[in-house]
Structure 1
């Protein structure tokens, strides 16, 4: 487990990165501007920092330069931006940034960059050549294919029910179907079919994801693989359905 600081003025990005990194087993602190980031850096030791470039008080490149000149840049810093130029990325790397990620950030690039940064910080990378390779592989120049791929649409309705649910209960009213699954704490689930289609579908999807979260011990990575959804889409879907992620997360 690593201690990671996420610095970004957008609440949605902070929350999403925090959820993903927490799910990977890391401890995450959040800062919405350079002032909070400075205070967090003084009070804590971090293994890695994710730092947004464009912020309202002090931009990320200036903060990076502050840390470098004051001797506080002793951890890998991954810069993030949706509007930076190649010159900005080169400047940040020259100051001491480990790599650069362009928004919107794919989960694959995020996790790869974090893994490489932590490997360098723990001394597992092969010197400066390894660092340069990590920057080349994880960053990608601004404007080059950093859009988040859309996840596969979940198949709602008959296919979802027949694949993951067992035999229907022996006694049921016309309005209620009782489905049984073969294992896990969600072994009995009732669905009220006497409702509008959208409500019934949402109820089924919530139970479907809760079942898989429980069966996979709260691992979002394995749930994404099982359900065929890209992780960013999966997080949004679970929040939309009101699934309690905190309750299902692994310890």
Structure 2
């Protein structure tokens, strides 16, 4: 069991994270702003901190800097945000944050990040060190936060790879990846929208709108087949 401090100004997110972490057997302390987070840190060093970036009084990056400059950044800190840029993520990494969770946070990513943070807090080596080969679900701001290289290579199939420059704005990089992702599945499934919808987990109507939005050539898969 670990002592985890959750800092977020949104009540719903605090309650959700608290419920999940309590179910995992951890003791959770909640703070809705930087002032409460400072008080909690001064009382005792938590084993791990989940820290929101955008807060009304003092933002998470500023609080991270404060802890770092005063010698209080002695525990792993995982940043959280739904609106962070790559520049913000890189800045937080340089200050000392160990990871980044992009909202909405999935249960799998939350538990994995917490596990890795607690391993670091206990001074043990991670079971699986980070790799420079980045797969589809990881091509986000989280990549930059965890030390992603300037260009990420995503495996698209036996004969195809695609490079994505992480220095681009997040939206542009994400659109490029999504377009390549759907083109790959269209080619693999012979242009069948039904099978692509099943493979990608999207409802067919939503998938069609997504492909049109990304400018995907819907005949390309059929030609390849």
The TM-score, its normalising length taken from structure 1, stands at 0.53
Query: Residue deviations 1:10-40, cap 9 Å, x none?
Result: 0000000000000000000000000000000
CA distance in 1, matches of 2:89, 2:118: 20
The 5 Å alignment of 1:193-204 reads none
Quote how far apart the aligned CAs of 1:124 are.
1.3
Quote how far apart the aligned CAs of 1:125 are.
1.4
Q: Does 1:83 align with 2:86?
A: no
Query: Residue deviations 1:139-189, cap 9 Å, x none?
Result: 3456669xxxxxxxxxxxxxxxxxxxxxxxxxxxxxxxxxxxxxxxxxxxx
Bigger Rg over Cα: 1
- Provide the secondary structure at the position in 1 that maps to 2:5: strand
Quote how far apart the aligned CAs of 1:7 are.
0.1
Gap regions ≥5 residues in structure 2: 145-169, 176-225
Quote how far apart the aligned CAs of 1:4 are.
0.2
* 2:74 aligned partner: 74
The TM-score, its normalising length taken from structure 2, stands at 0.59
* 1:209 aligned partner: none
CA distance in 2, matches of 1:97, 1:125: 17
* 2:40 aligned partner: 40
- Is the 1:61–1:92 Cα contact (8 Å) retained in structure 2? yes
* 2:122 aligned partner: 122
* 1:112 aligned partner: 112
Aligned length in residues: 142
- Is the 1:101–1:140 Cα contact (8 Å) retained in structure 2? no
* 1:63 aligned partner: 63
- Provide the secondary structure at the position in 2 that maps to 1:79: strand
- Provide the secondary structure at the position in 1 that maps to 2:35: helix
RMSD across aligned C-alpha pairs, in angstroms?
Answer: 2.5
- Provide the secondary structure at the position in 1 that maps to 2:78: strand
- Is the 1:76–1:97 Cα contact (8 Å) retained in structure 2? yes
Q: Does 1:7 align with 2:18?
A: no
CA distance in 2, matches of 1:7, 1:63: 11
Gap regions ≥5 residues in structure 1: 146-251
- Provide the secondary structure at the position in 2 that maps to 1:118: helix
CA distance in 2, matches of 1:114, 1:79: 11
